[in-house]
Amino acid sequence: MPLLETQGVTVRFGGNTAVDDVSLSIEPGSVTGLIGPNGAGKTTLFNTVTGMQRPTSGRVFLDGRDITRKAPAKRAHLGVARTFQRLELFLSLSVRDNVRVAGDIVKASRRGAYDVNGETDRLLELTGLASIADLEVSSIPTGRARVVEVARALMTHPRLLLLDEPASGQTEHETEEFAVMLRGLADTGLGICLVEHDLPLVMQLCATIHVLDQGRLIASGTPAEVQASPEVIAAYIGNEEVTA
């Protein structure tokens, strides 16, 4: 059974169709790519999965359970977490406190003991942020700030992690480290969906890739299958082969 499944999801804003009858799935323990041109509907689909946008039609399932009408907080409680295309961080707080704030929220919703400080330290080490943990987020490069968002999302102990352009602003070395981290997270059973314009990263990381164009799903398959699709070539990647 897929971890996440959308069935016929359509989102319309007035006369504009942002997502058009999209059915796709994300498996646990793997990294799935969601790519396409700007305005293809990728972030809108993320918003629909997380409950920030109600679909005009269609349904969203998590572990076979219909969550289409669940509120965002309920979906987060069920294990859905995300990052944002535009950074959503507390810029005047330290890296550590940005991560810890999610732990404080988790602790308030749990019964029994929960070591917020210990879990914060663990995730700072896991994501390579320990050395800058006490710096204000406003003082660190954008590429590192995007990793802070990932660490904060992981603080909620998700089963499904949606990442919206997380490699934007990263150096080549940072992107390489980021890829290693995502592989390790997937190996723990976490399902990851990656919206990203860094096509070499997507081709390197993703077992399955879904391609949107003008709100429609135009291709799904392995990196090799997607790169060979005439419709994908015409709409997005062109004729040049993308290598990791």
Chain segment 151-190, per-residue pLDDT in tens:
999 999 999 999 999 999 999 999 999 999 999 999 999 9
pLDDT digits (tens, 9 = 90+) for 133-160: 999 999 999 999 999 999 999 999 999 9
111 — pLDDT class (breaks 50, 70, 90):
low
Rounded to whole angstroms, the Cα distance separating 242 from 244 reads 7
Contacts with 15 (C-beta within 8 Å, 6 or more apart), sequence order? none
**Alpha-carbon distance values, 191 to 26, 31, 84, 123 (Å):** 7, 6, 17, 18
Six token digits for residue 111: 């019964």
Q: pLDDT at residue 18 above 70?
A: yes
What local confidence, expressed as pLDDT, does residue 4 receive? 98
The two beta strands, 191-195 and 208-213, are unpaired
User: Strand pairing partners for 7?
Assistant: 59
Rounded to whole angstroms, the Cα distance separating 238 from 51 reads 34
243 — pLDDT class (breaks 50, 70, 90):
low
**Alpha-carbon distance values, 192 to 13, 94, 96 (Å):** 28, 26, 23
Rounded to whole angstroms, the Cα distance separating 215 from 98 reads 34
Query: What SS3 state is found at 194?
Result: strand
What local confidence, expressed as pLDDT, does residue 238 receive? 78
Task: State pTM to two decimals.
Answer: 0.93
Rounded to whole angstroms, the Cα distance separating 125 from 210 reads 32
207 — pLDDT class (breaks 50, 70, 90):
very high
- Give 28's DSSP letter: T
If you search the block for the tokens 């669940």, which residue do you land on? Answer: 70
Domain 1-79+158-244, CATH: 3.40.50.300
So where are the chain's domains? 1-79+158-244, 86-157
